[in-house]
């Protein structure tokens, strides 16, 4: 497997402050790796008036005006938040955000998505949803969710990763390790108190084993992991993401989603689409472990 390095970073934006914050983070990351940014804004651009009673020609004229205004806003947004010398392209897309992100990844060759998150929880989250959370579950490339508490600098000196015994978590650790400033910097692995040490050893990628520091936690509580990351001084949390959610998780969020909502640093996620395995084979094989 070739070492991971951002080459073309896709950054969706809705012009909000969380999106601007993520764009500044993506700009810092692109500067570090000599990467290119592709900044997109997707919207259905439906006029707020009763378009069902509007003549077709007038509808298209109003929509085109809205799209042109969005292009101007995207240009200003990029100039305000992207560092000098970082190359970027801009696209305004008429359509849904999720579909636009998926299409751009297919056609552009982007190998990383960087997004902000509004951090909705509870009923608000259920009613309005979260594009970032949906992208984390369905995207075919790694996603970095830039939380409101994350620094805008993308310099990564320490990574924290919970031991999950899944291929997605294992690959998230690999991708995150590749973003660390020093290839010898420590990787903090967090395991449960009752995890089998031999199973943990087999799960850790062999090429990263000598860089890992082990920490223990009592339970799979998201808040505990977030606090551990803060205590350890982590700049990035690496997580594998499950493709499906229970009814309860639809309201409260999955473990990965709760980490993103609470984290004070950026969170890199990898799902089964990234590693090319089905949901049944996403768990790390441990047949030799008893």
Region 160-172: mean pLDDT is: 95
User: In the block, which residue shows the tokens 């799209």?
Assistant: 67
> C-alpha distances in angstroms, 191 versus 44, 179, 184, 201, 287?
44, 22, 21, 11, 20
Other beta carbons within 10 Å of 146: 29
Domain boundaries, the chain: 1-116, 122-290
Q: Name the 3-class secondary structure at 213.
A: strand
Identical fold for domains 1-116 and 122-290, yes or no, is yes
Spatial separation of the C-alpha atoms in residues 280 and 266, rounded to whole Å: 28
**Given this model, what pLDDT does residue 65 score?**
93
Matching CATH number, 122-290, of 3.40.50.12370, 3.30.1330.30, 3.30.465.10, 3.40.640.10? 3.40.50.12370
Mean pLDDT (whole number) for 169-190? 92
CA atoms within 13 A on the CB side of 13: 32
d(C-alpha 116, C-alpha 92), whole Å: 18
Do 222 and 247 touch, CB atoms closer than 8 A?
no
Tokens linked to 268: 């890199």
Give dist(CA 13, CA 40) in Å, integer: 6
Predicted pLDDT of residue 289: 31
pLDDT tens digits, residue range 115-163? 998 755 444 443 334 788 889 999 999 999 999 889 999 999 999 999 9
Residues 201 and 205: their CA atoms lie apart, in Å, by 8
Q: Among 95-99, 212-216, 243-247, whose mean pLDDT is lowest?
A: 243-247
Return d(Cα 240, Cα 97) in angstroms, integer: 23
Which tokens go with 257?
């989603």
- 261 — pLDDT class (breaks 50, 70, 90): confident
- Give all strands of the β-sheet with 266-270 in edge-to-edge order: 88-94, 36-43, 8-12, 112-116, 143-146, 266-270, 236-240, 159-162, 187-192, 212-217
A 10 A CB-CB count for 122 gives 10
- pTM comes to 0.88
Q: What is the pLDDT of residues 50-106, one digit of tens each?
A: 656 667 667 778 889 999 999 999 999 999 999 999 999 999 999 999 999 999 999
Q: Which CATH superfamily hosts domain 1-116?
A: HUPs (3.40.50.620)
Helices (H), the chain: 17-33, 56-81, 97-108, 122-128, 131-138, 167-178, 197-203, 222-232, 247-252, 255-262, 272-275
Which position has the token pair 């650790």? 173
């Amino acid at each position: 497997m070739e070492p991971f390095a951002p080459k073309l970073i896709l950054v969706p934006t809705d012009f909000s402050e969380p999106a601007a914050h993520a764009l500044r983070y993506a700009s810092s990351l692109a500067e570090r790796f000599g990467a290119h940014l592709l900044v997109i804004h997707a919207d259905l651009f439906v006029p707020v008036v009763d378009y069902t009673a509007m003549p077709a020609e007038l509808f298209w004229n109003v929509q085109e005006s809205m799209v042109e205004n969005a292009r101007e806003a995207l240009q200003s947004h990029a100039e305000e938040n992207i560092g000098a010398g970082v190359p970027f392209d801009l696209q305004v897309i008429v359509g849904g955000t999720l579909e636009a992100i998926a299409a751009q990844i297919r056609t552009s060759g982007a190998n990383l998505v960087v997004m902000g998150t509004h951090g909705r929880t509870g009923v608000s989250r259920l009613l309005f949803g979260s594009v970032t959370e949906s992208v984390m579950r369905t995207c075919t490339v790694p996603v970095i969710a830039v939380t409101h508490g994350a620094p805008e600098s993308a310099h990564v000196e320490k990574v924290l990763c919970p031991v999950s015994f899944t291929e997605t978590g294992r690959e998230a650790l690999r991708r995150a390790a590749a973003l660390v400033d020093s290839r010898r910097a420590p990787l903090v692995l967090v395991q449960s108190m009752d995890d089998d040490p031999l199973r943990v050893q087999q799960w850790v990628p062999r090429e990263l084993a000598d860089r890992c520091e082990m920490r223990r936690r009592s339970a799979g509580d998201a808040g505990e992991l977030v606090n551990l990351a803060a205590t350890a001084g982590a700049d990035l949390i690496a997580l594998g993401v499950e493709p499906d959610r229970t009814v309860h998780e639809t309201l409260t969020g999955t473990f990965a989603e709760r980490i993103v909502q609470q984290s004070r640093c950026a969170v890199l996620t990898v799902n089964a689409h990234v590693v090319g395995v089905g949901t049944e084979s996403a768990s790390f094989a441990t047949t030799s472990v008893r």
